Amino acid sequence: MLLIHCPYCDETLPELEFAYAGEAHIDRPEDPSAMTDEEWRDFLFIRNNKRGTHFERWRHINGCARFFNAVRDTVSDKFLTTYKAGTPRPSDAELEELGK
């Protein structure tokens, strides 16, 4: 069972309290009517599907119910860090430090 740290509740809790919510840092289009079909495809469907360090969203569905971001290694399933929605993604140097 994964143990996940909710940055709002500041508690590390079992996976069962959380719902996975897909890749993180995908910006909504600012001017949807100006988008081409290709841009819509990329926004809606294309995903990094990264083998390794993956930026993703989780929701503390059976707790505070808020969305937050996480960085997880998709090979080991180990969480490197979690952080509140709206905060910038950790830099490569910070992640390297966390991975040690």
Interface residues toward another protein, by CB under 8 A: 1-2, 15-16, 19-20, 22, 37-38, 40-42, 44-49, 51, 54, 56, 72, 74-77
Q: In terms of CB distance, is 2 or 9 closer to another protein?
A: 2
Contacts 24+ apart (CB under 8 A), 92-98: 95/53, 95/71, 98/71
CB of 94: closest distance to another protein in angstroms?
22
Residues in contact with 24: Cβ distance below 8 Å, sequence separation at least 6, in sequence order: 55, 56, 57, 69, 70, 89
Q: In terms of CB distance, is 22 or 88 closer to another protein?
A: 22
Q: In terms of CB distance, is 3 or 93 closer to another protein?
A: 3
